[in-house]
Amino acid sequence: MARLLSAWKSISKPLSEWRKGVLPGILWSLGSLLLITSFDHVIMRFAPESMTLGYLYLIPVWIAARTNSGWLGFLFSVFSATMLRLSPDTFPHVGSFSNWLVDISAFLIVYAIFERIESSLSSAKSQAHHDALTGLANRRAFHTQARLAIQRAWRKQEDLALVLIDCDKFKEINDQYGHDQGDKALIAIGRALTASFQGRGEVARLGGDEFVILIPNADRQRTRQLVGQFERSLAFLTKEYPYKIGTSIGIAILREDGTSLNEMMERADTRMFRSKNIKHQIATGVVEFSESKQEVS
C-alpha cells in the first residue's frame, strides 16, 4: 500500500503541474492561433495591400514561451509559421519549401528570445519573494500571505495560528563552527519546517535565525502537535551534525491572542523569548517559576 501511494504521488505531481501549467498553455496558444487566423482572413478582405498582420502570429509563440515548455514552443512555432504562410496576405507568394523552413527558423529564434525573457522575469519575481538561503518565502511575501489569511479567517470564522521560531545559540554555532555551519543550521530548520508544515501552512524566514508559520484551521492543541512534528523532524535531519540545534517557539491564535497580524506577532514574540529565557535559566541553574506553562506556548 505504501508503495502504491508513493507511486501515485510520483505520478500525480507531474500530472498536476502539467494540468496547471502546460495544458492551459496549449489551450491559450491554440485558441489565440485560431482567433488570429480567423481575424486575418476576415480583415485582409477589406485591408489595403500594404497592410500585414503577420506579427500577430507571434502571440501564440509568446504564450507557449510562458509555460517554459520547449516542445510546446517548437510546436507552436511550426504551427504559427505554417498558418502565416497560408494567410491571405502571404498565400499568393507562398514560395518554396525552403522559405517555409526559414519562417520556422525565425519563429524559433523569436520563441527562444521570449523564453529567455520569461525565465528572467520569473527568476526576478521568485527572488523578490523568496529567501535566497533556504528557499522559503521571505518577510515581504509573508506579510502579503498573512494579510490575506487573516482576512479569510475572519470572513469564514475559522481559527488561524501563528508560530514564531528562533534558533537557540545561533551566534555560538557561527562563532564556534563558522558561518558555513550557521547557514547549514538555518537550511536544516527550513527543511524541517517544510517537511512538517507543507500543505498545512505557510512557512517563511523573517531574517537572521527567525522563522514564522501561518496555520489555517488550527487551534492551540493542533498547532502544538505540528510543532512537535517539526522538532522531531529537525532532530532527525541534524542527528549527524557536530552540534545540537534547538529552537525557541512562540504560538499565537487569532482572536485569543490578538485581532491583527501585529498583535499576534507581538504575543508570539513575547512567548518565544520567554521560552528562550527559561531555557537559559535552566542551563545556568537559575530558574524562576513565576510564569505559567500556558504563557510559554
d(Cα 103, Cα 121) in Å, to the nearest integer?
27
Would the pLDDT of 282 be above 90? Answer: no
Mean pLDDT, the chain, rounded, equals 80
Whether 148 is covered by a domain: the verdict is yes
Q: What cell numbers appear for 196 in the block?
A: 512538517
Residues 17 and 52 in one domain: yes
- Which residue did the predictor score with more confidence, 276 or 41? 276
Under the banding of pLDDT at 50, 70 and 90, the label for residue 245 is very high
Would the pLDDT of 211 be above 50? Answer: yes
Share of the chain above pLDDT 90, in %: 45
Residues 165 and 289 in one domain: yes
Cα 285–chain centre separation: 44
Residues 146 and 123 in one domain: no
Which pLDDT score is estimated for 112?
Answer: 84
d(Cα 88, Cα 39) in Å, to the nearest integer?
11
Last residue of a domain, one of 95, 129, 163: 129
Which pLDDT score is estimated for 153?
Answer: 94
d(Cα 185, Cα 191) in Å, to the nearest integer?
10
Reported pTM: 0.63
Residues 277 and 186 in one domain: yes
Residues 66 and 208 in one domain: no
Q: How many domains does the chain have?
A: 2
Would the pLDDT of 265 be above 90? Answer: yes
Whether 227 is covered by a domain: the verdict is yes
Residues 271 and 159 in one domain: yes
Whether 76 is covered by a domain: the verdict is yes
Whether 134 is covered by a domain: the verdict is no
Residues 182 and 87 in one domain: no
User: Can you give the CATH number for the domain in which 168 is found?
Assistant: 3.30.70.270
Mean pLDDT of 223-234: 94
Residues 111 and 181 in one domain: no
Mean pLDDT of 194-213: 93
Would the pLDDT of 27 be above 70? Answer: yes
Whether 177 is covered by a domain: the verdict is yes
- pLDDT digits 0-9 by tens, 67-78: 766 677 777 787
Whether 165 is covered by a domain: the verdict is yes
SS3 string, the chain, reads CHHHHHHHHHHHHHHHHHHHHHHHHHHHHHHHHHHHHHHHHHHCCCCCCCCCCHHHHHHHHHHHHCCCCHHHHHHHHHHHHHHHHCCCCCHHHCCCHHHHHHHHHHHHHHHHHHHHHHHHHHHHHHHHHECCCCCCECHHHHHHHHHHHHHHHHHHCCCEEEEEEEECCHHHHHHHHCHHHHHHHHHHHHHHHHHHHCCCCEEEEEECCEEEEEEECCCHHHHHHHHHHHHHHHHHHCCCCCCCCCEEEEEEECCCCCCCHHHHHHHHHHHHHHHHHHHHHHHHCCCCCCCCHHHHC
Domain range spanning residue 110? Answer: 12-129
Mean pLDDT of 86-95: 56
Whether 7 is covered by a domain: the verdict is no
Whether 116 is covered by a domain: the verdict is yes
Residues 100 and 33 in one domain: yes
Would the pLDDT of 16 be above 70? Answer: no
Residues 33 and 99 in one domain: yes
Residues 96 and 185 in one domain: no
For 227, half-sphere exposure in the C-beta direction (CA atoms, 13 angstrom radius) is 26
Last residue of a domain, one of 129, 164, 188: 129
- pLDDT digits 0-9 by tens, 104-148: 888 888 888 888 887 777 777 767 788 989 999 999 999 999 999
Last residue of a domain, one of 129, 157, 172: 129
Residues 85 and 222 in one domain: no
